[in-house]
Amino acid sequence: MTDLLQLPLLLSLTLGERLALMGVVLFVLLTSVAYTVYAERKIAAAIQNRIGPNRVGFDLIPQLGFLKGLAGLGQPIADVLKLLFKEDVVPSASNGFYHLLAPMISLFAALTTIAVVPVAAGLVIADVDIGVLYILAITSLGVYGLTLAGWASNSKYSLLGGLRSSAQMISYEIAMGLSVVSVVVIADSLSMTKIVESQTANPLYWNCFRNFLGFICFVVASFAECNRAPFDLPEAEQELVGGYNTEYGSMKFALFFLAEYANMIVASTVIATLFLGGYQVPFWSDAPWWLQVGAFVTKTLFMMFVFIWVRWTIPRFKYNQLMDLGWRKLLPLALFNLLLIAMGVLIFEA
Amino acid sequence: MGQEISEFGKVFLFLAVGVIFVVLGFVTSRLIRPHRPYTEKLTTYECGEEPKGSAWVQFNIRFYVVALIFIIFDVEVLFLYPWATIFKQVGGYALAVALVFLGVLTLGLIYEWKKGYINWVVPTPNIPKMPTKKFEKPKSLEKPKVAEPETTA
């Protein structure tokens, strides 16, 4: 319990304090989502040899005047404000209730996943015993949001986008589940904290090396689960206009947008936890908690950079190629990897 | 207040805070945004054309097939989780059992593969041939032949 003593914050919290803390966590998460959008635009600009957002600063606040127009850092705030001020158009042919419910489902599915990811030893919102199962369950709930949005809008583009995204997400979920099973075989537990501990502080024991095929499968599948390029068919703007969010604007669109980027952040944290050693600091098994947080954030940021990098580098798949990759390549590969890992564990540990 | 909250209770609390965030956002947006709907604005977007019919139609059966296969495989994957947690304790026997189980799973995959259910593009659609009778134009519809102007040399 020594690491708990270093975290006096979490020892005994009243309900109110706990709620406030969660509010802070959510606020930080949503702000970082907004700045992920900014980072994506900047990185995309760098990749395509452009400048990217560079106008909006903090001109209105005199104390922050020195940030005037600095690298466009005010852009995310301006974007959020713009969406807040937009009129909410609900097409008369759509189903109003489900039209409102769909973006909420996708955002909540994205946000609640983060609750079980350990940020440092003992520093986790909810240390659920079956964290891995919980994550798989909640992320697959996100499908409902997209499908419902596609159906409720009563638009052909939305319907096609929603159908595509649901077919895509369920196709890749099996490969994802199988690669997670291989991680569980190594770690012997479904708890996220125990999975991180099983990877130890030696980077060679991290699952991205011990379980390389599983790592590849999981990363590819999570690209597909997040509807990110090269798997962004549900919102392929050249053919489907906006996909499932064609009929969305204002706050509802903001929720979808937040959900999409929150999904990316959450997927990065999950990859960091399951495969990159989570909060483990290389070669220092009992590092102070703030260093562990630092290690975790660094790994997450690295994965997020990979997400953005891949999006702006690789062209989009055709739909049949996407289904082929999911069912005929990733799924057999994940099955094979599971057997490989099981045999490896028997040989090396029994 | 010193009562311990269970771990899933904390998850639920977190969700509740999330709901409050979203509801606050909606209320703020509601207070400050304009609301000026009219019929044309509320039509469904279809590239500027008049929308043709509803989108609530029957769609391709392939989506259902994929969903069905998914359910079968997902349940099978779910059975593997308890197996994975006790794998190290049980050892070789667990591996043998898993080989049988995964073998059945692979057989299922091969079956679906051969049946073409996971093949999104079917190269030659198998459309049953209908007995076709050559369609003849009713006499009444035929235009009376215009006598070609005779060219006389």
d(CA A61, CA A84): 20
Q: Is the pLDDT of residue B61 over 80?
A: no
Contact B44 A91 (CB under 8 A): yes
Share of chain A above pLDDT 90, in %: 6
Q: Is the pLDDT of residue B46 over 60?
A: yes
d(CA A210, CA A213): 9
Structural domains in chain B? Answer: 50-138 (1.20.58)
In chain B, residues with a C-beta closer than 8 Å to the C-beta of A336 are none
Exposed e or buried b per residue across A294-309, where buried means at least 16 C-beta atoms within 10 angstroms of its C-beta: ebbeebbbebbeebbe
Running DSSP on this structure, what letter comes out for residue B86? T
pLDDT in tens, A170-217: 888 888 988 999 888 888 888 888 888 888 878 888 888 888 899 999
- State whether residue B34 sits within 8 Å of chain A by CB: yes
Contact A188 B15 (CB under 8 A): no
pTM score above 0.90: no
Residue of B nearest to A155 (CA): B55
Reported as a pLDDT band with limits 50, 70 and 90, residue A124 is confident
Res A279: pLDDT: 83
Rounded mean pLDDT of chain A? 82
Residue A249: name the closest of A168, A155, A112, A111 by CA. A155
Contact B70 A346 (CB under 8 A): no
pLDDT in tens, A213-267: 999 999 999 888 888 878 777 666 667 777 778 778 788 888 888 888 888 888 9
Q: Is the pLDDT of residue A6 over 70?
A: no
Q: Is the pLDDT of residue B2 over 60?
A: no
Contact A189 B85 (CB under 8 A): yes
pLDDT in tens, A139-182: 888 888 888 888 888 888 888 888 888 888 888 888 898 899 98
Q: Is the pLDDT of residue B8 over 50?
A: yes
- The domain locations on chain A are 16-85, 95-349
Distance in Å, alpha carbon of B129 to nearest chain A alpha carbon = 27
Mean pLDDT, residues A38-49 taken together: 88
Measured in Å, how far apart are chain B's first and last C-alpha atoms?
116
